[in-house]
């Protein structure tokens, strides 16, 4: 197990919109290393803030147990997916945070199979108690499911070659280990001139998103999060992927009574305004944050207030 830490992204920006110093009850749907949760509890301590947190990764539980020791009954933890947010008993909340994606704990733990740089069984599940590992997904998925993972979720421009290579490698054992899988992808698509990232980066991202049903989780959780907000409560979502951000943007537009996209032909009075945007454009990390934490590079924050 790696000793790496997770550096919370868009940290001050997120705390500014959630404003825990004003007091109230909060929900962190993506506890991870607890960086955002800790700050909410500490900055809201004088105002008696309480916080419920969720994480689908069983490895988050020992970190949550330490929190329970420090913060007592101001802290509650739920070890399941945020699509089950409606089961959290402490609702409604003054602020809800979703910082979606994977944590540095997960990326840096060699045994989890998220990284192509470290040899491991290609598992890539955030919740190792359910679903199927990536290695099994690659052996059994339909061509359409592989195309969705590599082309749509991974945004890999040479997705056809990657999908063909995966299908051709079935039954050979080459899809089981991260480094072999990465070598297979690299051997088919090579490095693109001028592109710094490893040739397997996008495919690994797409496979991870598919294996964890990350977009389905987000679509299911957003309306539940909105229902779990008090009037005046704030929903803040940090995403790392353009497809995630599109889902968040559509949902925010919908509840703010705005056209969800340019094809939305509903009249103004057919759209119900139940929230107002706090961030009119996404908030992005500063140059100094990116320099200090390169993993923050693609993060973006959107926030709204329920009215």
Interacting residues with ligand SAM (CB under 6 A): 6, 8, 30, 32-36, 54-57, 60, 81-82, 99-103, 126, 217
Tokens 């910082």 -> residue? 99
Element (H, E) at 43: helix 35-43
Question: Which of 26, 31, 41 lies closest to 230, judged by CA?
Answer: 26
User: d(Cα 236, Cα 250) in Å, to the nearest integer?
Assistant: 14
Q: Which is nearer to ligand SAM, 125 or 249 (CB)?
A: 125
Minimum distance between the CB of residue 38 and ligand SAM, rounded to whole angstroms? 8
Q: Which two tokens stand for residue 107?
A: 């990326």
Question: Would you say 6 or 151 has its CB closer to ligand SAM?
Answer: 6
Token pair 């599940």 is found at 125
The smaller minimum CB distance to ligand SAM, of residues 201 and 220, is found at 220
Least Å from the CB of residue 69 to ligand SAM: 18
Tell me how far, at minimum, the Cβ of 156 lies from ligand SAM, in Å. Answer: 22
Smallest distance from the beta carbon of 234 to ligand SAM, in angstroms? 16
CB 258, min distance to ligand SAM, A: 26
Shortest approach of ligand SAM to residue 227 CB, angstroms? 17
> Looking at beta carbons, which residue is closest to ligand SAM?
32
**Considering beta carbons, is residue 147 or 243 the nearer one to ligand SAM?**
243
Environment class of 174 (CB within 10 Å of its CB; exposed 0-12, middle 13-18, buried 19+): middle
Query: Which residues lie across from 283 on neighbouring strands?
Result: 301
Instruction: Considering the complex, state which of residue 78 and residue 159 has its C-beta at the smaller distance from ligand SAM.
Output: 78
Question: For the residues of 172-226, what is the DSSP string, one character each?
Answer: TTTTSBHHHHHHHHHHHH-PPTT--S-TTHHHHHHHHHHHTTHHHHHHHHHHHHH
Residue located via tokens 């197990």: 1
C-beta separation of 41 from 75 below 8 A? yes
d(CA 147, CA 54): 31
Helix axes 201-211, 214-227, angle to 10 degrees: 50
If the CB atoms of residues 30 and 203 are measured against ligand SAM, the closer one turns out to be: 30
126 or 181: CB nearest ligand SAM: 126
Least spacing, CB of residue 33 vs ligand SAM, in Å: 3
Count other C-beta atoms under 10 Å from residue 22's C-beta. 12
């Amino acid at each position: 197990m790696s000793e790496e830490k997770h550096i919370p992204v868009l940290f001050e920006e997120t705390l500014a919109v959630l404003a825990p110093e004003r007091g109230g009850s909060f929900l962190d749907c993506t506890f991870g290393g607890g960086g955002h949760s800790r700050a909410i509890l500490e900055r809201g301590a004088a105002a008696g803030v309480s916080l419920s947190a969720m994480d689908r990764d069983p490895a988050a539980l020992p970190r949550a147990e330490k929190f329970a020791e420090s913060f007592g009954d101001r802290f509650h933890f739920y070890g399941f997916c945020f699509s089950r947010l409606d089961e959290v008993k402490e609702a409604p909340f003054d602020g809800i945070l979703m910082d979606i994606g994977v944590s540095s704990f997960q990326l840096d733990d060699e045994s989890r199979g998220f990284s192509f740089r470290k040899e491991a069984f290609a598992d890539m599940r955030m919740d190792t108690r359910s679903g199927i590992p990536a290695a099994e997904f690659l052996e059994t998925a339909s061509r359409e499911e592989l195309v969705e993972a590599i082309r749509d979720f991974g945004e890999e421009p040479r997705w056809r070659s990657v999908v063909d290579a995966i299908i051709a490698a079935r039954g050979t054992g080459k899809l089981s280990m991260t480094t072999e899988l990465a070598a297979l992808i690299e051997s088919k698509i090579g490095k693109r001139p001028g592109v710094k990232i490893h040739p397997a980066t996008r495919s690994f991202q797409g496979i991870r998103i598919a294996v964890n049903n990350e977009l389905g989780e987000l679509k299911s959780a957003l309306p539940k999060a909105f229902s779990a907000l008090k009037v005046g409560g704030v929903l803040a979502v940090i995403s790392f992927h353009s497809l995630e951000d599109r889902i968040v943007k559509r949902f925010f537009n919908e509840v703010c009574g705005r056209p969800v996209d340019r094809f939305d032909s509903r009249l103004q009075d057919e759209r119900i305004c139940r929230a107002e945007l706090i961030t009119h454009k996404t908030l992005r990390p500063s140059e100094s944050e990116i320099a200090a934490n390169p993993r923050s590079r693609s993060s973006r924050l959107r926030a709204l207030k329920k009215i």
